[in-house]
Structure 1
Amino acid sequence: MKRVAALSLIVALSASPAQADTLREALARAYRENPTITASRAQLRAVDENVPLAKAAGRPTLSTNGGVTENYLRSGNSFTTPEKLAQAQLALNVPFFSGGAVRNSVRAAETRVEAGQYNLRGTEASLFSEVVAAYNDVIRDEAIVGLNQQNVRVLETNLQASRDRFEVGDLTRTDVAQSEARLSLARAQLQRVQATLIGSRENYVRLVGDAPGDLATPPPLPNLPQSADGAVGVALRDNPTLLAALKQRDATAFDVRVAQASRLPRLGVGATGNYVNYLGSLGSGTGLGVGQSGTSAGIGLNVSLPLFQGGRPAALVRQTRATREQSIENATAAERQVIASARSAFAIYRSSLQVIASSEQAVAANRLSLEGVRAENSVGNRTILDILNAEQELLNSQVTLVTARRDAYVAGFALLAAMGQAEAEDLGLDGGPLYNAAENYRAVRNRFSDFGDGAAPVAIAPSTSAVAPQNATVDRPLDPALDSSKVDRSPALTTGENAPNR
């Protein structure tokens, strides 16, 4: 089921038009270079190392030590206190029973690696949701700026027409003042939405790493569920954040067993080898020919049986059980969050579709209403204020339509993310192979060499300091459905040439 949904989403994103910037290109760049996701990958690699660290506690250890001693003050003879002494020791210890502590530590670490992989998938989905929102925010705000610029131009024309009609006595000073006030408000509104556009573009730079160009219209989202219950059912099965919480819960069960093992005996086999050399100082001055060096070796069984540890084992068990209880509750909280996210995203998506349909009708109706008000004004049945109000209602309905389109798309993608169907493998991103979280784990999980430090850390995500500050320039043409230039604003309707004096 998930694979079918993934293929459909890949096809949908692949259908993006080949323009300066497409949603697929933005997602691919963020996937490669966003610092949030590159840091999450590094964090997971650190979690991977917990497995060989846990295994190391059950592996043999080999150590050596040595030294040279020269005794300057001797109270005895050379047999008991030689003048010089050099010695070295080699020790091997092989643990073979630790009460299950090592085995359960390894299982806990492996389970947390799985949780970390799910968390990385969740980070991908969250990042992609942010990118989709930022991408659509820029498109929305560019359209809103364009609409407000169009509104300012219209109100400038209306003001000039009102002044012309005032000069010929067709309008009063009040009518001119109303036009001037509405134009001033429109210019202030334009400044506000331009600032919002700059903020949206800067947020896009933060997430994607580069300035937005001529953003293409995002492709339709496929395979959205038909009901909230259907969305929740898929989310409970595939949501990576929930799956990570469940794995974290499972890992704490092994932690409890590790704590319980601290009461049990530990067994191991030890072997030692010793070498000593008196550097010719043993028996010096006695005339006796004695050996100046010697070796020894031994092997034995090491047994450690804790009898009393001051209450530490019981405290560890209680602590790990409390942590497990916390993880159980966290898993329930994650489940609730997933359910709420899926249901709310579904509700926002469906309501936004309804708002889009209503707004499209409102835009068409307000366009006709504006034309009618202008026509009625030309014969003296409507005032200038009626025209200004009609212009504002048209603008409001257009902004509502643009916003609803953005909300529907973002909510639809958020719904896919909540269902676990908006991750890198689902999107078919260009720009190289996908990051394989399991590859590093497979490479390090069985390593036992004390040498092999890996590559030195280097920065992956680039700085955005070189990206120029964003501005509010809009080159995108308005959607034909939003273009108010089609409204009849012929001179006869705006100058009142043929209208009777009021």
Structure 2
Amino acid sequence: MADFKKYLKSGVAALALAVAAAVPANADTLGDALVKAYKNSGLLEQNRALLRAADEDVAQAVAGLRPILAYSASVTANREYQSLGPLSARYDALNETTTANLTLSASLLLYDGGASRMGIDVAKEAVLATRQTLRAAEQTVLLNAVSTYMTVLATSQIVSLQKNNVNVLDEQLRASRERFDVGEITRTDVALSEAALATSNSDLVAAQGDLADARAAYITDIGEAAGSVSQPKSFPVAVNSVEEALRIAMRSHPSLIAAQHAVAQAELNVAIAQAARKPEVSLSASVGTTRYLQEDTTVSENNYLNDASVGVKVSGPIYYGGAISSGVRQAMASRDASRASLHTTKQSIEEAVRVAYSALTQARAARGAAEESIRANTVAYRGVSEEASLGARTTLDVLDAEQDLLDARASSITAAANEYIAAYALLSAMGLLNTEYLKLNVPTYDPEAYYNTVKNAPAVINTRGEKLDEVLRSIGKK
């Protein structure tokens, strides 16, 4: 009986300490995991490369309004064989000519109804939209990192809880067998203890499997294997109402801003399609020389011919079978689709904010309820244990009370993890889940650095590439 009382007193304390013992003092913080995810993300690398490609579209559009200089060079050998004269007095004539030609040409677009200049604006709008796509990718990376980190933390705590429960039930089984040997309890009580231990071992194996799955996801989302993790000390800054969250989302969410730039692009594309009806004026000039490298019957060797020309070309559509009008209608339809997409994007963001805010509210309530459940089940477990030591309760009563307490602690662990995930999910729905808002200690990618280097379409970045190297280093590419 003394051993059984000792077991009963130690059981509650062991369960209470199980979660705390699962977290080493030198564990990685959530902030550490977010920094690693930001540095190691392939998704961010992909979207940064796409942004640089969009930056080059601006450079190419700018280049379309600049002079085009070109050259051509050729060497041509011509062999001409003729049979001349009447049939009775035929004779053969052979002419061989070898010429070398070099031509320099230049052209400049003077007017195209503004289509090329609007094309530059379209490219700039595409850059702005792609920057927001990069921001959205950053939110995805960070939210996945939060979810994975908290899942590893929760599953590791549950594994520790289950291990402790196995130890407690193993001790209880030992005590039950001793009491059975002295006739205090029946064989049924021993069997109940054995069944409880077997179930607990099964639950431990399942929890260890969940932890292995979580650690595998950690490698994918964080970029390296999970070490020790710790409970975050604070929540991100919250809002006081769903209306406040909606106001922030409407001005900050990257998907909404990207959709707005897509509408601007579509509007410009309509104007470009309409400009196809206008004339195009271009200036062209060329200078060339032709050298005769081999003498023939008509031209002496080393003779040459120089030529130069300057011209203005005006061209425009008269009738294209309705293709231009179709292009205008198509651009208008695409514009209408972009406007509708903006509307649906706004609705989706509003829904996401409301759902995220509700989920956070529910998660906080669940955590509070779980803590109250722990308190109540702890009291109940202690009471049942004391009554069992006096013979007023059965072994089954003790096992049920212990299982209820274990379930309450597991629910508390899950609720705490869900609350953190919900808090960061709300930040993501508001468009604020980024390294700057979270104040993460990590060098951030500057989306304007590469753009500022190439936006004016330099023919050569630098004679030895130092400037481009500096830009690439600043954005983490070298």
Q: TM-score range by the shorter chain?
A: 0.7 to 0.9
Find the partner of 1:88 among 87, 102, 113: 102
1:39-50 mapped onto 2 (5 Å cutoff): 39-50=46-57
Which residue of structure 2 aligns with residue 445 of structure 1? Answer: 455
* Distance in 2 between residues matched to 1:76 and 1:401, nearest whole Å: 106
**Structure with greater proportional helix content:** 2
* Distance in 2 between residues matched to 1:178 and 1:322, nearest whole Å: 72
Which residue of structure 1 aligns with residue 281 of structure 2? Answer: 267
Residues 82-141 of structure 1, C-alpha deviation per residue, up to 9 Å, x if partnerless? 622222221111101112221111111101101111111121122111111111111111
In structure 1, give the amino acid aligned to 2:283: V
Structure 1 position 214 matched with structure 2 position 228? yes
Task: Report the 3-state secondary structure (helix = DSSP H, G, I; strand = E; otherwise coil) of the residue aligned with 2:113.
Answer: coil
Which residue of structure 1 aligns with residue 402 of structure 2? Answer: 391
Structure 1 position 372 matched with structure 2 position 379? no
Residues 315-356 of structure 1, C-alpha deviation per residue, up to 9 Å, x if partnerless? 322332232222222222221221122112211112211211
Find the partner of 1:224 among 238, 253, 269: 238
Which residue of structure 1 aligns with residue 325 of structure 2? Answer: 314
Contact 2:55 2:454 in 1 (8 A): yes
Find the partner of 2:292 among 278, 286, 291: 278
In structure 1, give the amino acid aligned to 2:316: L
Which residue of structure 2 aligns with residue 356 of structure 1? Answer: 367
Deviation at 1:295, TM superposition (A): 0.8
Structure 1 position 201 matched with structure 2 position 187? no
In structure 2, give the amino acid aligned to 1:410: I
In structure 1, give the amino acid aligned to 2:227: G
* Distance in 2 between residues matched to 1:358 and 1:309, nearest whole Å: 73
Cα 1:451–1:428 shift into 2, 3 Å: closer
Cα 1:219–1:329 shift into 2, 3 Å: farther
* Distance in 1 between residues matched to 2:25 and 2:392, nearest whole Å: 51
Find the partner of 2:258 among 222, 244, 263: 244
Deviation at 1:46, TM superposition (A): 1.0
Using the aligned pairs only, state the percent identity.
Answer: 33
Which of structures 1 and 2 has the larger relative contact order (alpha carbons within 8 angstroms, sep 6+)?
1
Structure 1 position 22 matched with structure 2 position 29? yes
Contact 1:54 1:105 in 2 (8 A): yes
Contact 2:148 2:218 in 1 (8 A): yes
Length, aligned pairs only: 437
1:131-210 mapped onto 2 (5 Å cutoff): 131-210=145-224
Task: Report the 3-state secondary structure (helix = DSSP H, G, I; strand = E; otherwise coil) of the residue aligned with 2:102.
Answer: strand
Which residue of structure 1 aligns with residue 436 of structure 2? Answer: 425
Structure 1 position 64 matched with structure 2 position 71? yes
Is 314-323 or 148-157 further displaced after alignment?
314-323
Residues 131-186 of structure 1, C-alpha deviation per residue, up to 9 Å, x if partnerless? 11111111111111111111111211222222222223332232222222222111
Which residue of structure 1 aligns with residue 87 of structure 2? Answer: none
Contact 2:62 2:457 in 1 (8 A): no
Deviation at 1:55, TM superposition (A): 2.0
Deviation at 1:261, TM superposition (A): 2.2
Is 40-49 or 257-266 further displaced after alignment?
257-266
* TM-score under structure 2 length normalisation: 0.85
In structure 2, give the amino acid aligned to 1:374: S
Which residue of structure 2 aligns with residue 34 of structure 1? Answer: 41
Cα 1:241–1:265 shift into 2, 3 Å: same
Q: Return 5+ residue gaps in structure 1 as ranges.
A: 1-16, 462-502
Deviation at 1:194, TM superposition (A): 0.8
Deviation at 1:212, TM superposition (A): 2.3
* Distance in 2 between residues matched to 1:277 and 1:28, nearest whole Å: 67
Task: Report the 3-state secondary structure (helix = DSSP H, G, I; strand = E; otherwise coil) of the residue aligned with 2:448.
Answer: helix
* Distance in 1 between residues matched to 2:25 and 2:273, nearest whole Å: 59
Which residue of structure 1 aligns with residue 421 of structure 2? Answer: 410
* Distance in 2 between residues matched to 1:252 and 1:122, nearest whole Å: 21
Which residue of structure 2 aligns with residue 298 of structure 1? Answer: 309
In structure 1, give the amino acid aligned to 2:383: G
Contact 1:82 1:278 in 2 (8 A): no
In structure 1, give the amino acid aligned to 2:441: D
Deviation at 1:271, TM superposition (A): 0.6
1:4-19 mapped onto 2 (5 Å cutoff): 19=26
* Distance in 2 between residues matched to 1:348 and 1:290, nearest whole Å: 90
Find the partner of 1:258 among 266, 272, 278: 272
Deviation at 1:20, TM superposition (A): 4.1
Task: Report the 3-state secondary structure (helix = DSSP H, G, I; strand = E; otherwise coil) of the residue aligned with 1:93.
Answer: strand
Contact 1:132 1:410 in 2 (8 A): yes
Contact 1:282 1:292 in 2 (8 A): no
Task: Report the 3-state secondary structure (helix = DSSP H, G, I; strand = E; otherwise coil) of the residue aligned with 1:73.
Answer: strand
* Distance in 2 between residues matched to 1:176 and 1:205, nearest whole Å: 44
Deviation at 1:442, TM superposition (A): 0.8
* Distance in 2 between residues matched to 1:167 and 1:51, nearest whole Å: 87
* Distance in 2 between residues matched to 1:22 and 1:352, nearest whole Å: 21
Structure 1 segments of 4+ aligned residues over 3 angstroms from their partners: 17-20, 74-77, 282-285, 450-455
Deviation at 1:383, TM superposition (A): 1.7
* Distance in 2 between residues matched to 1:125 and 1:191, nearest whole Å: 34
Q: Return 5+ residue gaps in structure 2 as ranges.
A: 1-23, 85-94
| Cα RMSD after superposing both structures | 2.6
Deviation at 1:282, TM superposition (A): 5.6
Deviation at 1:236, TM superposition (A): 0.8
